[in-house]
Chains A and B, each alone.
Chain A
């Protein structure tokens, strides 16, 4: 079993829909990262969370430490949100990232 699991694996939505992407992890963590990867490889860091909730524009990330679960929400989705969304964690003082496989999101106009 992978330390970081993401669901669903692929997701298709219509423009304007509210989207939720989930991430579960099986180990104690010091922080959880949400990352976005567009075709061609570039990875952009969206959020780093250790508790609670963060918001940036149309993106909201939440984390429940007790349940070892995090969600990334996209409000008013747009085709330019189409990308791979990856959840990754760091453990203790170790700053390397352990990644989930990522979820491919397609937003149709």
Chain B
């Protein structure tokens, strides 16, 4: 297992376009998280899956954001009608049930121009 994989690493998009990011967690981990980090700040929680169930969504996650984990393995995060304020690093992490092995991906850096 090569850890948590995120694709793409970088994405530049025009305002108003839709973007989709993918996260492949560690295969034994049933918990998957999405976080967002802006420059100079710590990451902020967006949403969390246990297996295929989305158990929690942050108020930060507006109607333009949607996340899925259809088979309890990989996850996708889609942002519709992107805005400049969406520019950030989007981080995915996975962990086991007891939170051991909390592992982050390298992130997807989104720039909205």
Q: Which residue of chain B is the closest to A40 with respect to CB atoms? A: B106
The winner among B41, B42, B48, B56 for most chain A CB atoms within 10 A is B42
The winner among A4, A45, A100, A101 for most chain B CB atoms within 10 A is A45
Q: Which residue of chain A is the closest to B50 with respect to CB atoms? A: A95
Task: From A52-60, A64-72, A73-81, A86-94, give the one contacting chain B.
Answer: A86-94
Is the beta-carbon distance between B99 and A48 smaller than 8 angstroms?
A: yes
Is the beta-carbon distance between B99 and A41 smaller than 8 angstroms?
A: no
Question: Is B26 engaged at the interface, CB distance under 8 Å to the other chain?
Answer: no
Query: Which of A31, A43, A94 interacts with B91 by CB under 8 Å?
Result: A43
Q: How many A-B residue pairs have CB under 8 A?
A: 57
Is the beta-carbon distance between A43 and B104 smaller than 8 angstroms?
A: yes
Is the beta-carbon distance between A33 and B106 smaller than 8 angstroms?
A: no
- Convert A3-22 into 0s and 1s, putting 1 for each residue whose CB lies closer than 8 angstroms to a CB of B: 01000000000000000000
For B95, list chain A residues within 8 Å (CB): 95
Distance in angstroms between the alpha carbons of A102 and B43 in the assembled complex: 9
Distance in angstroms between the alpha carbons of A4 and B45 in the assembled complex: 14
- Convert B18-56 into 0s and 1s, putting 1 for each residue whose CB lies closer than 8 angstroms to a CB of A: 000000000000010101010011111100100000001
- Convert B40-81 into 0s and 1s, putting 1 for each residue whose CB lies closer than 8 angstroms to a CB of A: 111111001000000010000000000000000000000000
Distance in angstroms between the alpha carbons of A41 and B100 in the assembled complex: 21
Q: Which residue of chain B is the closest to A88 with respect to CB atoms? A: B42
Distance in angstroms between the alpha carbons of A97 and B109 in the assembled complex: 20
Distance in angstroms between the alpha carbons of A84 and B93 in the assembled complex: 18
Distance in angstroms between the alpha carbons of A35 and B102 in the assembled complex: 10
For B56, list chain A residues within 8 Å (CB): 94, 96
14 residue pairs A–B, Cβ–Cβ below 8 Å: A35-B104, A41-B106, A43-B93, A43-B104, A48-B100, A48-B102, A86-B43, A94-B56, A95-B33, A96-B48, A97-B35, A97-B45, A97-B102, A102-B41
